[in-house]
């Protein structure tokens, strides 16, 4: 692995003719927005570009241009292509791209902002001070004088905004706002993006009522948990955005924990905090992320996973 500069990244992209873009499994707004925007930018530079994700793309992102160009792993297993570069966006470990890595023998490049990045790629462009990978892509376009179209602007604004809680989280910096401003100047429509991303159905609200019944507080109300059972997860799929914020916004709470029952003996964890380093907590269980937002998976029931987490949190 070698960490590369912006100039080295630019040269590598210049020399590559065919590029495969991918992001992590369970793709979020930052991953999808960054990928489709970078896809359009690279196409404009005359590159042959493909996109693959080893997961289902959430319906809420269907308003983005070029979303229909994202293929699954099965497609490229049946229709193999040769590429000069596998570009991984917004993924901090090799495992997070699922089966994609095994499909291609090209050098792996990684553009990421996670402080927990495992440095798995052959070439890593890491900007942990940036709130989102979308912020990095916007910055690259600005520095390289690559035009940002209206469709790119919408994708990049969504990428940035969703990864910093629509500019409410502590990872929001002056540069975050500057990059978002560039997107708006290029045609991004914040109201349309927020209304689309934050829209909820009556059925989801009914499930939210059930989920809120699981809220519990610990350690003098400094730690709060909220749970989604395997049965409810089967209905929601990966559409769990917003639940952890319900408890994170409680005035006394520092650490907010969302426990998602993947199966009776496997629980996925989302951690948020106002002060505590939750990346260190997630790292204890083989996960990671950011200081104020991280995640991990524990091979245990929701109750057992919660117990193990509470033992680690001081």
In the prediction, which pLDDT does 200 show? 84
In the prediction, which pLDDT does 211 show? 95
- Dihedral (Cα; 124, 129, 133, 137), 10-degree rounding: -80
Please identify which residue in the block is written with the tokens 């490229």: 76
In the prediction, which pLDDT does 1 show? 73
In the prediction, which pLDDT does 239 show? 79
161, 126 Cβ separation under 8 angstroms: no
Which domains does the chain possess? Answer: 2-197 (3.90.1640.10), 202-312 (3.10.310.30)
User: Going residue by residue through the chain (314 aa), what tens digit of pLDDT does each one get?
Assistant: 789 999 999 999 999 999 999 999 999 999 999 999 999 999 999 999 999 999 999 989 999 999 999 999 999 999 999 999 999 999 999 999 999 999 999 999 999 999 999 999 999 999 999 999 999 999 999 999 999 999 999 999 999 999 999 999 889 999 999 999 999 999 999 999 999 998 888 988 899 999 999 999 999 999 999 999 999 998 887 778 789 989 999 999 999 999 999 999 999 999 999 999 999 999 999 998 888 999 999 999 999 999 999 999 98
125: CB partners within 8 A, 6+ apart: 3, 4, 5, 6, 9, 109, 110, 111, 112, 136
Residue 313: both structure tokens together:
């949190």
pLDDT in tens, 246-265: 999 999 999 999 999 999 99
Q: Distance between CA 290 and CA 126 in Å, rounded? A: 13
Sign of the CA dihedral running 180, 185, 190, 196: negative
222: CB partners within 8 A, 6+ apart: 252, 253, 254, 255
Instruction: Give all strands of the β-sheet with 266-273 in edge-to-edge order.
Output: 216-218, 223-228, 255-263, 266-273, 293-298, 288-289
Q: End-to-end alpha-carbon separation of the chain, Å?
A: 35
In the prediction, which pLDDT does 266 show? 95
In the prediction, which pLDDT does 224 show? 97
């Amino acid at each position: 692995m070698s960490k590369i500069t912006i100039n080295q990244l630019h040269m590598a992209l210049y020399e590559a003719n065919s590029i495969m873009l991918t992001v992590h499994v369970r793709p979020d707004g930052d991953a999808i927005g960054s990928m489709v925007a970078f896809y359009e930018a690279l196409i404009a530079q005359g590159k042959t570009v493909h996109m693959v994700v080893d997961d289902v793309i959430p319906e809420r992102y269907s308003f983005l241009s070029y979303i229909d160009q994202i293929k699954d792993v099965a497609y490229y297993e049946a229709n193999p292509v040769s590429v000069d570069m596998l570009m991984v966006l917004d993924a901090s470990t090799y495992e997070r791209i699922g089966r994609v890595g095994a499909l291609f023998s090209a050098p792996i490049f990684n553009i990421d902002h996670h402080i927990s990045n495992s440095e798995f790629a052959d070439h890593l462009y890491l900007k942990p001070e940036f709130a989102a990978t979308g912020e990095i892509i916007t910055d690259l376009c600005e520095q390289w004088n690559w035009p940002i179209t209206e469709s790119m602007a919408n994708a990049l604004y969504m990428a940035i905004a969703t990864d910093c809680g629509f500019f409410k989280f502590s990872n929001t910096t002056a540069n975050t706002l500057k990059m978002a401003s560039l997107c708006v100047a290029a045609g991004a429509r914040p109201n349309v993006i927020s209304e689309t991303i934050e829209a909820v159905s009556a059925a989801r609200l009914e499930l939210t009522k059930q989920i809120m019944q699981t809220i519990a507080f610990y350690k003098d109300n400094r730690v709060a948990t909220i749970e989604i059972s395997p049965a409810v997860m089967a209905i929601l799929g990966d559409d769990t955005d917003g639940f952890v914020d319900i408890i994170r916004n409680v005035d006394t709470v520092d650490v907010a924990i969302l426990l998602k029952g993947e199966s009776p003996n496997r629980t996925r964890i989302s951690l948020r905090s106002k002060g505590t380093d939750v990346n260190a907590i997630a790292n204890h269980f083989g996960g990671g992320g950011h200081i104020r937002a991280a995640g991990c998976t524990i091979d245990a029931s929701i109750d057992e996973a919660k117990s193990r987490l509470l033992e680690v949190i001081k």
